[in-house]
Each structure stands twice: as C-alpha cells, then as structure tokens.
Chains A and B, each alone.
Chain A
Amino acid sequence: MSSRLTRARRAAAGLLLLGALGACVGPAREPADSLSGLERDETVVVGRVELVPPLRKDEQKFKGIVIGDLKNKMILITDDQYRQLTEEPDMSDFAGRIEAKLGQTFFVRSHSKPFFILGGMLYLDLGGEEMNRAYFPGGLKVSLKPGEKAVYVGTIRYHRNEFFEITKASIVDDYDRANAEFKKKFGTRYPLHKALLTPVK
C-alpha cells in the first residue's frame, strides 16, 4: 500500500523516479530477429506466458506518458543464480528480464547457459498518479546448453481470479505451435530443441 502527497511534491517525486529508472534499470533480453545474428555463445529462448482468464481491457490502466510498450505484457524477472524474491523487486532485478506479450510466443536472445525465472510482474495501473503491479510466482529453471541455437521452454500458464490471486500455475507443452512459428520466422536450418521449464526444488 502506498501513500502520497498530491500535486507538486508528487510531480517532483515522479521526475526523480523517472530519472532513477532511466539510469539504473538494465536492458531486457533482446528479441531475436534472425539466427545468423547470434553470437556463438547465444541461444534463442522460445516460450509464452498466458493468463487465465486473460486481461480485460479495463484491468490495465495506463495514463499519460508511459515509456515502453507495457500493455498486456508480463515482465519475467530472471537471474543466473536462483533466489527467492521476498520483497518488491528493485531496479537492479529487472536487468536481463524477458518482456513477454501475454498469449504470444516470445523469441529472445540469451547466453547459452542456464538461468532462472524468479517471478513475473504485470503493470495494472501506470502513469499519471497511479502505480499498481501484480506479481506472479517463479522459481523456474531455464535449461540451456552451449551449441543449441534455439530452445523451446514451454508456456507458463497462470490462472488467477478477479483480485489477481494466483490460483494455479503450470507449464504447458505447446511445442508444435511454437515450432511452426519458429520455422516461419527463422527457417528450417536450425532445429528448435525442447527443454521445458522445471521448478526449482
């Protein structure tokens, strides 16, 4: 829960926040457009995030100037080392994030070494005077091996209620659809390996 002063002091705080965000948040994992542009130690990670039921139009409210396209987008917080997110993530936690449009397959470049999805975050209210986020459980390992150009990790499916309580989370194997999209996007020269996300024990 947050409290705030209105008007001038809030605007000043907002400017400070914007400045701080610009300075400290590391980049997201880049979307992959071609396999030929990959470095030798890079892999394309292919997956998807779904919300059940999907977001209603009125459930995400963005006002004023919002930097970046965050509509209908889940931010997956990642790290090379597994750890539990016990508090609100700070700015440094967002480096190397995966920005996944809900219900759409993502293709992102990554170092060819395992990493962990610590959790997900979705902006519900953003811009103007509002900032409200929903968090989603993580604790998932992405198993990548050197030499694999592309790896399918599965669909993370979050079930939730109207209060954004997560009632169920599962990993769904939708390889055939992802592979069809992969071939259409990148051709057939390289196979799409399958290594579904696994819960960290």
Chain B
Amino acid sequence: MKHRMWLVLGLITLGLLAGCASSGPTRNINDPTNSLVFGYIDMDDAPTKVSSAWMVQVAPPSDTPYWGLGVSKGLFYNSYLPLGSYQLSKFGGSGFFAGQHEYMFPRQGNKTALRITRPGIYFLGAYKYKKVKTGLFSQGKFAIEKMSKPTEAELLKRILEDDDIKGSAWAAKIRARLAQLKS
C-alpha cells in the first residue's frame, strides 16, 4: 500500500513537472550571452516517453553542471545556456506498466556533444530511440539514430509557441533563424 501511495504521489509530481518545465540552474532568459539549444527524440520504441531531460556542462568546470531541458512531445530545449561545452546526459520517463526509467548518455562518444563559443541557436538534431539487445542480466542499452524529420524549422515553430519564449528576446531571433532556413 505504502508503495502505491508513493507511486501515485510520484506520478502526480511527474505530471506537474512534465510539459515544458526545465530544472537545474537558471538565468535570465533575455541575457545576451544565452544560447538556445534544442533537439527532438522519437521514443516510440522505448519503454516510456520522455518527461525530463538533462544536459551536462563539461567545460568550463561548474559546481552545477546539469542543466534541465524543457520537454514537450519529444522536443527538448533550453533557452539560457551560457558559453561552454555540453552534451545530453540523461532522459527520464515513466509509464504505468513500464515503471520509471532513466536513459543515460555516455560521456565519451556522445553524438550530441556541442561546443558553444558564440551565443546563438543550436540544433542538436532529431533522433529516434533504438533498443540494443543485451543479455538477460545486463543493463538495458539503447542507441539513437539520426532522423531528417522533424526539421529544425518545424521544431523552432513549436518552441515559439512557448509563452516564455514568445515574450522574450528569443522570439525575434527565432523568427530571423526561420527566415534564414527558408531562404
């Protein structure tokens, strides 16, 4: 019974955290040194959808290296990353039957490695989750495969729907980027 209570509480909390909320360190969204970093993951073949996502700052050194990403239907993004080097660190998700899952990215050979030397808009790419076969007692493994859809423009349009983004300095920058992608 006790476990069920925790499960229910956990699901409520997850529900509240889902959507576009991100966690970890925060900065003023209009800081001119911010970068917008985003991507997409198709989790159709995974045990769960994604409800939380994290990037890790690998340089410069930081006491708070984990940056939360907003997540919405496969789209993940952060609009206030300072200059530095980053890569995806972890996705989290839960399902009623599947339970709570974490999807860990390697620190070496990570396809999403990104070095931000100038503030701007950075597209990490669109990926599909692929399960990798392992032994019965081995930790689950997965790979991510690059996809051509959704495109950078499609995802930027979705980010523009976020009220925080709409009312920030990002709106104009995203529109400029969309115009650039069109031409």
Inside 8 A of B144's CB, which chain A residues have their CB?
A: 1
> Do the beta carbons of A125 and B108 come within 8 Å of each other?
no
Q: Bound complex: CA of A124 vs CA of B65, how far in Å?
A: 15
Q: Bound complex: CA of A163 vs CA of B88, how far in Å?
A: 11
* Contact A162 B140, CB 8 Å, known A1-B105, A2-B104, A3-B102: no
> Do the beta carbons of A2 and B100 come within 8 Å of each other?
no
Q: Bound complex: CA of A7 vs CA of B99, how far in Å?
A: 10
* Contact A163 B99, CB 8 Å, known A1-B143, A1-B144, A125-B107: no
* Contact A4 B139, CB 8 Å, known A58-B61, A163-B85, A163-B87: yes
Q: Which of B87-124 contact A (CB under 8 A)?
A: 87, 99-110, 113, 115
Residue in A closest to B65 when the chains form the complex, CB atoms? A58
Interface residues as binary, B70-88 with A (CB distance below 8 Å gives 1, 0 otherwise):
0000000000000001010
> Do the beta carbons of A56 and B108 come within 8 Å of each other?
no
Q: Is A165 an interface residue (CB 8 A)?
A: yes
> Do the beta carbons of A163 and B104 come within 8 Å of each other?
no
> Do the beta carbons of A2 and B113 come within 8 Å of each other?
no
How many pairs, one residue from A and one from B, have CB atoms within 8 Å of each other in the complex?
A: 80
What is the distance, in angstroms, from B91's C-beta to the closest C-beta of chain A?
A: 9
Q: Bound complex: CA of A121 vs CA of B100, how far in Å?
A: 30
Residue in B closest to A166 when the chains form the complex, CB atoms? B108
Interface locus among A29-37, A38-46, A129-137, A177-185: A129-137
Inside 8 A of A58's CB, which chain B residues have their CB?
A: 61, 65
Interface residues as binary, B163-178 with A (CB distance below 8 Å gives 1, 0 otherwise):
0000000000000000
Q: Bound complex: CA of A58 vs CA of B132, how far in Å?
A: 30
Residue in A closest to B6 when the chains form the complex, CB atoms? A7
* Contact A4 B101, CB 8 Å, known A13-B137, A132-B107: yes
Other-chain contact of B108, A2, A13, A129, A163 (Cβ < 8 Å): A163
Residue in A closest to B60 when the chains form the complex, CB atoms? A162
* Contact A6 B58, CB 8 Å, known A1-B144, A124-B107, A133-B108: no
Interface residues as binary, A77-90 with B (CB distance below 8 Å gives 1, 0 otherwise):
00000000000000
Q: Is B146 an interface residue (CB 8 A)?
A: no
Q: Bound complex: CA of A5 vs CA of B46, how far in Å?
A: 12
Q: List 10 A-B contacts (CB under 8 A).
A: A1-B104, A2-B141, A5-B99, A7-B100, A17-B137, A58-B65, A129-B102, A162-B115, A163-B85, A164-B107
Known contacts A13-B137, A133-B108, then 11 further A-B pairs from the complex at CB < 8 Å, ordered by chain A residue = A1-B144, A2-B139, A2-B140, A5-B99, A5-B100, A9-B99, A129-B102, A132-B107, A134-B108, A163-B58, A163-B87
